[in-house]
Structures are given as C-alpha cells and as structure tokens.
Amino acid sequence: MNVLEVRDLRVDLGAHTVLHDVDLTVRAGEAVAVLGANGSGKSTLVRAVTGLIPVHSGTIELFGTPLGPNAPMHRVGYVPQRVSATSGVVATAVEVVQSGLLGKGRLRPGRDATRKAVEALESVGLGAAAHRPVTELSGGQQQRVLIARALVREPELLVLDEPVAGVDLPSQEAFARTLTRLVRAGTTVVVVLHELGDLAALVQRAVVLRGGHVAHDGAPPPAHRHHAAPGHVHVHPHDDVTAQDVGAPALELEP
C-alpha cells in the first residue's frame, strides 16, 4: 500500500492556481525530497497533503484513506515551515512537544506524556533543554523542538517543510543524523527543501516542482559540474530559468 497517493491535484489560493496536474506516489520507507524555486508550489503541496489547505480538484490519499475526517492523521507527523516555537506566553520545550501527543479524539496526552516528550527531545539532541523555555533557545534549536513535536507521534510518515532553512550548522547536522536514523528504521519521509545539502546522501528520490506542476520525479538531480561537491546543489530562486529537459532539471547555481 502506498503511504501517500496524490492524483491530478489542483490547488487554488485566491484567484491563483498554485498547483495543477500534480501526481505523486510515495511508497512505504521512501525518503523523497520536494525541490523547487520559491513560489513553485512545494510548500503548498505538503500543506495540501496534511489537510491544511483546501483542494480544488483531484484526490489525496494517506495510507489508502482519502484526506478528510477519517484520514489517519495519527500516523503522520508534520513539521511546519519555521515560524517560531514561541507564542504569547512562555512555554517549555516539553510543553510544546506534548502537543504532538494529541489528535482526533485525543484532547489530553497520556500519563507518560512528559517522559515521551523528553525522549523525543533527546532524539534531536535537546534533552538538556527539555525544561527550558523555548524563548531561550536559538532558532535552530526551536526548529528541532518542532521536529521533536512531530517525532513524539511516532509517525510512519514524516512531512517536513523546509526544516533546515536558516538553521545553524549544529542544528543542521543534528537534523541530518535524526533523519538518517528514522529512514533506516523505516519511516517514510517527505521533505521540502530549497537545496539538498547535507541530505543528498539520504534522499532516494527528488520531485522537482516548477510553476505548480511536477517537472522531474526520479533520481535526485546532480549538482552543477563546477559545484559537484555535496551540499552545493542549489535551485535557482527565480522563475526565469529555462528547463533543459525533464531528465536534467534546471538547477542553476548562483556564482
């Protein structure tokens, strides 16, 4: 059974069609990167898949069940694009992570919520900060708190939206280690990235979006030959770049 099955998806935001004719199948255990320029629709795709924005037409199935009230969201962990782990009232990392233990028909976390939250924080290297207010943590550490909040759900499908954008190097490395361990343990991962970076070794498949449709679905695109070293794949952030062909998606490098 496929973990995620998207067929003929179209998503409109206001009067603007952001995604159209999108097909995507993710099988159990796959690690898929969703790449694309700013405005290509990659965040919209994962937000549609997690039920956060309405779909104009097409179908989305999670674990064989159509998205909707009966979708098995307890099997999904979502890490939103980094806003901030803080809100108007101070909260500790453990308090934030415990939100991940809730779901449909589950308005209170279980009795061992604190232990589970601390373990999830340990798995992203933040065990020592578990009871500190998130306001005292760096941006990268706050991002790891949000990853722990998804991991505490013990998800079979982990969906991450630009998890390493603007994150400090130690947090990026901790993130790559965590993700590697999860993929080895069989977790299915769909991760939106601006560039493959440290995750190039981990990702088995890349889906490149361009102008709201899938321009490439297959092996991760190679880096430009002058920048073949891992960590240098860079999707050009502007839309005026011409695609060469589907097999070698337009991956332009900024000098």
Partner 1 sequence: MTGITQMLTDPLMQRALLVALLVGLAAPVIGTYLVQRKLSLLGDGIGHVALTGVALGWLVGAALDVVPNDALAVPGAVVAAVAGAVVIEVVRERTRGGGDVALALLFYGGIAGGVLLIGIAGGTSANLVGYLFGSISTVSTSDVVLTVALCALLLGVGLGLRPALFAVSHDAEFARSTGLPVRALNIAIAVVAALTVTVAMRVVGLLLVSALMIVPVAVAQLVSRSFASTMHLAMGLGTAVCVVGLAVTYWVPLAPGATIVVLAIAVYLVVLAARPLFARR
> Which residues lie near partner 1 (CB under 8 A)?
50-52, 71, 73-74, 76, 78, 80, 83, 87-92, 95-96, 98-104, 106-109, 113, 131-133, 146, 149, 153
Cβ distance to partner 1 smaller for residue 162 or 198: 162
Cβ distance to partner 1 smaller for residue 144 or 153: 153
Phi, psi of 199 (to 5 degrees): -90, 0
Nearest distance from residue 135's CB to partner 1, in Å? Answer: 9
Cβ distance to partner 1 smaller for residue 71 or 202: 71
Which letter does DSSP use for residue 156 in this model? S
Strands of 41-187 (E only): list them: 57-62, 65-66, 76-79, 157-161
Cβ distance to partner 1 smaller for residue 86 or 180: 86
In this structure, how many other beta carbons lie within 10 angstroms of the beta carbon of residue 231? 14
Nearest distance from residue 125's CB to partner 1, in Å? Answer: 21
Report the length, in residues, of the chain: 255
State the Cα–Cα distance between residues 129 and 204, nearest whole angstrom: 33
Strands of 142-184 (E only): list them: 157-161
Nearest distance from residue 43's CB to partner 1, in Å? Answer: 12
Cβ distance to partner 1 smaller for residue 124 or 233: 124
State the Cα–Cα distance between residues 235 and 183, nearest whole angstrom: 24
Nearest distance from residue 191's CB to partner 1, in Å? Answer: 15
Q: Are 158 and 182 in contact (CB under 8 A)?
A: yes
Nearest distance from residue 230's CB to partner 1, in Å? Answer: 31
